[in-house]
């Protein structure tokens, strides 16, 4: 049981390049999330999914797209990277329960855009 995994762990992009971050979970969770973490700002929700084939915007969605074609995978795309997207990105998942819906986090991806 690997929990939540993220690929890659580190990446450096030039401004304007594109990339996709992959998140996978093996806990059969319905909900999945993408956050970014910036110093002094905690975690901010980018996009989330309430089930396979669904996605929705979070607090800071601009410049990002997501897809959830399979229940276990949640992809985060940057079509044209900008230096403001330099951050640490965390994926999380949670089960479909009315209570006890704590989120389980992956190890993060550190992205630098130059």
Partner 1 sequence: AQSVTQPDIHITVSEGASLELRCNYSYGATPYLFWYVQSPGQGLQLLLKYFSGDTLVQGIKGFEAEFKRSQSSFNLRKPSVHWSDAAEYFCAVGAGHNDMRFGAGTRLTVKP
Interaction with partner 1 in 36-55: which residues (CB under 8 A)? 40-45, 48, 50
Asked if 58 interacts with partner 1 (CB under 8 A), we say: yes
Torsion of CA 99, 96, 25, 88, to 10 degrees: -60
Minimal distance, residue 27 CB to partner 1, in Å: 13
Minimal distance, residue 55 CB to partner 1, in Å: 11
Residues of this chain that interact with partner 1 (CB under 8 A) are: 4, 31, 33, 40-45, 48, 50, 56, 58, 90, 92, 94, 96, 99-108
């Amino acid at each position: 049981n690997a929990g939540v995994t993220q690929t890659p762990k580190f990446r450096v992009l030039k401004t304007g390049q594109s990339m996709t971050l992959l998140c996978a979970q093996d806990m059969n969770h319905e909900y999945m999330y993408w956050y970014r973490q910036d110093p002094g700002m905690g975690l901010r929700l980018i996009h989330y999914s309430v089930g396979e084939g669904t996605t929705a915007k979070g607090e800071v969605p601009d410049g990002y797209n997501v897809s959830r074609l399979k229940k276990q995978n949640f992809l985060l795309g940057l079509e044209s990277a900008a230096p403001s997207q330099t951050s640490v990105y965390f994926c999380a998942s949670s089960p479909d329960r009315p209570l006890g819906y704590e989120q389980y986090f992956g190890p993060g991806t550190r992205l630098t855009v130059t």
